[in-house]
Amino acid sequence: MPNFAQAVDAGDCASGFGAFASDAENKLGHNMIKVQVGSDFVYLLFDVWSGVVFYGHSLIFRLIGDRLFELKKVARRSRYVKA
């Protein structure tokens, strides 16, 4: 499993994510990616066409090669770390 430069608090990860993930996977052709944050895992949506990673409804990273670059913080309390 890749260990990307990525985000987040477990608290941010939970709210409202499931429904959006299902809808995106089924209707928009997005894929889920699993990212390790310390001993925890965070699930993000990856748009296979544009190389953009979504977290909830917020665009946060763009994938360039094998590196994710921060575009926008999801929430004020979110932590951004290098994995």
Instruction: Give the model confidence (pLDDT) of 31-57 as tens digits.
Output: 666 665 556 556 666 665 565 666 554
| Residue 14 DSSP code | H
Rounded mean pLDDT, 18-34: 47
Amino acid 42: pLDDT: 60
Average pLDDT, the chain: 48
Q: Is the overall model pTM greater than 0.95, yes or no?
A: no
